[in-house]
Amino acid sequence: MSVQSTHPLKPEAPGLPPGIPESPSCQRRHTLPASEFRCLTPEDAVSAFEIEREAFISVLGICPLYLDEIRHFLTLCPELSLGWFEEGCLVAFIIGSLWDKERLMQESLTLHRPGGHIAHLHVLAVHRAFRQQGRGPILLWRYLHHLGSQPAVHRAALMCEDTLVPFYERFSFHTVGPCAITVGSLTFTELHCSLRGHPFLRRNSGC
C-alpha cells in the first residue's frame, strides 16, 4: 500500500439496522462540518490515541494500539480507518488493517498484509464525552458499509472480550472460536463478518 491519500475517502452514509438511531443531521456549516465521517490520516494519530488511552487503560490496563502503531496503520492503510468528527474534532474512530490468514494470529496485531482479503478491526473507541449516545453502533455500521464498497475486502474480523460478543452479533458478526491472540492474562473471542450479501449493502442512505 502507498502512503496517505491527500483526499481522504468519505464513505457514503448507509441506512442503519433496526433499533439503531439515525446519525446526526447532515447539514453543513460555512466553516467546519457539524458532523463528518472520513478516513483518518497520520495527523489524526495523536487525537485517536488520546481517546483510546482514556477508554482502554482504565478498564484493561492496555491499549489495543499505541501511538506509533496508530501512525503505522494510518500511513499504510488509511482507507481501512474511519473517524467521526464533530466541528472538526475527532469523537470516535475505528482503525483496521488487512490480514491474509483464515484466523487472527499474534502478528496480526502489528502487521498489514496488502494482499489480504480480511479487514482486521484493531480498535473501536468513542470519546468519553460522547459515550452512551449510540455512536459506537452508528460508526461500526458505517464502517462495515465502507468496507463493503472495497472489492478486495471480503470479510471483517475482530477479537473482543466475551461480554462484547452480543454487541457485535447485532452486526452479523459470528463467533469462530477462542482467539489465538492473548495479551498478558487477557483472552479473547474471535468473530468474523462476511461482507458479501450483508444487509447494509442493500440499504439506502439514511441522510
Active-site residue, from 72, 120, 122, 127: 122
Active-site residue, from 97, 127, 139, 146: 97
Active-site residue, from 9, 67, 109, 111: 111
Q: Is 122 a catalytic site residue?
A: yes
Phi-psi region of 23 (alpha: psi -120 to 50; beta: other; left: phi over 0): beta
SS (H, E, C) the chain: CCCCCCCCCCCCCCCCCCCCCCCCCCCECCCCECEEEECCCHHHHHHHHHHHHHHHHHHHCCCCCCHHHHHHHHHHCHHHEEEEEECCEEEEEEEEEEECCCCCCHHHHCCCCCCCCEEEEEEEEECHHHCCCCHHHHHHHHHHHHHHCCCCCCEEEEEECHHHHHHHHCCCCEEEEECCCCECCECCEEEEEECCCCHHHHCCCCC
Instruction: Compute the distance between CA of residue 143 and CA of residue 133 in angstroms, rounded to an integer.
Output: 17
Active-site residue, from 82, 90, 146, 168: 168
Active-site residue, from 40, 82, 124, 195: 124
Q: Is 111 a catalytic site residue?
A: yes
Q: Is 168 a catalytic site residue?
A: yes
| Residues with a known catalytic role | 97, 111, 122, 124, 168
